Structure 1
Amino acid sequence: MVKKFVLYLMIILIGGGCAALPPLPPPVEQTLLPPDLVLPQKPEQEETYTLGPQDGLRITIYDNPDLSREVVVSADGSFVYPLIGQVQATGLTVRQLEQELTRRLADGYLVEPQVSVTVTQYQSQKVYVLGAVRSPGIYTLRQDTTLLELISKAGGPTGDAGLEVLVVKASEATPEGKNLPLIRVDLEKLLAGEIQQPIAIGEADTIYVPQQRYFFVYGEVQRPGRYPLERNTTVFKAITLAGGFTRFAAKRRLKVQRVIDEVPQEFHAQMNDRLQAEDILVVPQSYF
């Protein structure tokens, strides 16, 4: 009779330890961008873009292909064009340069010339590479600059870089900086050259490499410790990363310690529950 009572008491204790804890809620969507990140202004359209040194231009004269040229604005802000000689471009918009070329070509050279100017290389345009890179800062955007090249220019990711790269499109951001349009890119695949589709980078875009986020596994697992958090990491995956259960693990009494609104709380966890950054997964020891 005593043995049966002790066994019954043990069952109550084991079951009660789980029942006393609330179930683990879904992870809160955590922004990977720092709260103090200041986004640059939206880029201007090409027609209103202000030209500067080293900008590449394609100048087309309708019905006069022999006068069409590709030029680069020199350090003094000008370029040389057939018939009319030196043309000052720095400080002008694309539309203003078209008007200037039209005026000068019509002055004794062509009848009602139709001039089109296209920017082929935005040497004056800048992008921002920030976060866990060795040399964060402002970098020049060329027409064919890739995301990988920009990260390389910034010295590459640091040792504590996370698993993703975030591209914030300045052309789509709201003035309040809310609901930012993010392009998420797998950093490891990007560095390995496994991403075939090019990632469009525009003027004033921000490329942000977040620091790695972690969760913790303690208790009756083979390798307790800290582990990198990937997207949609479940309790099952966390235990697998930690080498699996020991033979003393209480597999039905898994707990997760999570800070919510700056208050540490404890929850009962199931294998398919998802973890978030800084979660502590605890695998208790079995009573017998």
Structure 2
Amino acid sequence: MTTTPANPPQAASVWQRVRRGLASSLMALSAIAMAGFFSACEGPEPYTEIPADVMSARPTGTLSAGDVIQVSYPGAPELNTTQRIQANGRVSLPKVGDVSASGKSVASLQSQLSGMYTSHLQNPTVLVAVETAAAGVYISGEVNKPGKIPLDRPMTAFEAVMEAGGFSKFANRKQVVVVRNQGGKHQRYALNLDDTLSGANHNAFYLRPYDTVYVKQSRW
């Protein structure tokens, strides 16, 4: 009786497929292991420790060059004017000429102008309002409306994110970075705004003109 031998080419083909499958699996495992290795080797990002004076509120709202202000005269509305504060910090107003505005609060400028118009108007009341603030902060990363936000009032990092439309669905609220230029060097402060939302952290981080707030993307 003659036994029919197995088909050698077919057996070899099966073995080659098994070998290719094993090789692919080993390469995948190797890639995962290497990714884990490099991830473990990465050191902590160079964030700056946040001292109390950096995050505390400071008097803001002072006028600066580039701000556009509205000056209104209730007793003489024909004098109403909109002015951009010039590079030298001054504005040119009817009847009184050039007036220094940069570095002053809205209230102090109003008081000064009312005094200056006492001899010019029967009702010397003057009202000043900021139409467009030149100083601002920049919001980027995982927010719904990234861009520049006018800093026309004391503003926290959390408020700035809300002004930018809030967190996107991919945002990592625990990883919000504020980049600030201090003394010609960039300082990076890491904030956990998830704690702000949950109430676990009651400390507010107040922004300074031209800060950049970057919301990182969640890895999960």
What TM-score comes out, normalization by structure 2 length? 0.48
What TM-score comes out, normalization by structure 1 length? 0.38
Instruction: Answer 1 or 2: which has greater helix percent.
Output: 2
